[in-house]
Amino acid sequence: MSHGELFIQPAYLDALHGSGSAAPESGWQHLPELAPMAYLKSHSWGEFVFDFEIANAYRQVGMEYYPRLVLAVPFTPVSGPRLCGLTAPALEQAVAEHEASSAHVLFAQTEDIEALTQAGWLARQDLRYVWRDRGFADFEGFLSALASKKRKNIRAERRSVAALGLDIRWQDAGEFSAEEWQQLYRLYTHTYAVRGQAAYLEASCLRAWARDLAEQFVFCVARRDGELVAMAFFFRDHDTLYGRHWGSSLAADKLHFELCYYQGIEYCLAHGLTTFDAGVQGSHRILRGFEAELSRSAHWFADARFQRALARAFEQERTEIERYLEQARSHSAYAR
């Protein structure tokens, strides 16, 4: 199974659709006759390749940006196979058939991007943050490879969490009781509620993953006096841990770093996983041993004027991202 292939498996996608997390009512009209991960979208949320400025530009000239055709795994910014035999002409025809403004293939593998750009599509880049095992024997071995200041900072953060006296442990998704699932879901939704947003995933989606992907779906949980007070959940395949979501009822400053990053690194080292894909956004991960890498998407706009204008905009954006990537590499947490 290649990187990200887990997330295009029927068990993963069916849970999103069957639970209503990705459904017409939530703006995700599934087009399975086109591709397993093809959608007609009435908004831009849940994709993590942001195009709200493009939507605004369409509005300013009196044009409709929505619906748009999207090839992506809902709420899952992980690179992986996307085209699955589809061609650029087939996607462009689907845009016309559904009276969409454009087509977007998100978090695609390099070969998919190359096939589309050769057909005249526009390539776009963004950043994701990845930890890779450099032959560390354990967490102390990882720390010893870091610059002294970064190493001291991580140790201080972990001490502050240890002082909370929490019981932190890993559990497979199938190990929780019905009552604990209710607690886990409340923690997950709390992360969105504090921002005034509704959670993307329904509770039944998580339970379906726990049932059908029991060996790939894992949690790091924190308990106080037996009660669940924080959690982060992940997926794993044969060589990679994928960070997904977290939630906490505690206002503990460094608990997020512990559950979402340091515990994940320890899990990888303990289970022989060589890669920890922590997702997009969050440059603070660079200070904690993660490194910035490029993620890629491809776009086609039916209106030739927008196609030309966005070609220039994406080129400028690409230059800025590549400049930032060089800066990020020069500020790596690892000792020179």
E strand or H helix at 18: helix 10-18
Gap between the Cα atoms of 211 and 217, Å rounded:
9
Residue 156's pLDDT is what? Answer: 96
Could you give all domains of the chain from N- to C-terminal order, each with its CATH number?
5-127+292-330 (no CATH), 134-273 (3.40.630.30)
Residue 251's pLDDT is what? Answer: 86
37-80: per-residue pLDDT in tens? Answer: 999 999 999 999 999 999 999 999 999 999 999 999 999 999 99
Residue 1's pLDDT is what? Answer: 67
Residue 284's pLDDT is what? Answer: 84
Instruction: Return all residues near 130 (Cβ < 8 A) that are at least 6 apart.
Output: 275, 276, 277, 278, 290, 291, 293
Q: Which letter, b or e, does each residue of 212-232 get, where b requires 16 or more Cβ atoms within 10 Å of its Cβ?
A: ebeebbbbbbbbeeeebbbbb
CA nearest to 48, candidates 126, 156, 147, 150: 126
Positions in the chain short of pLDDT 50: none
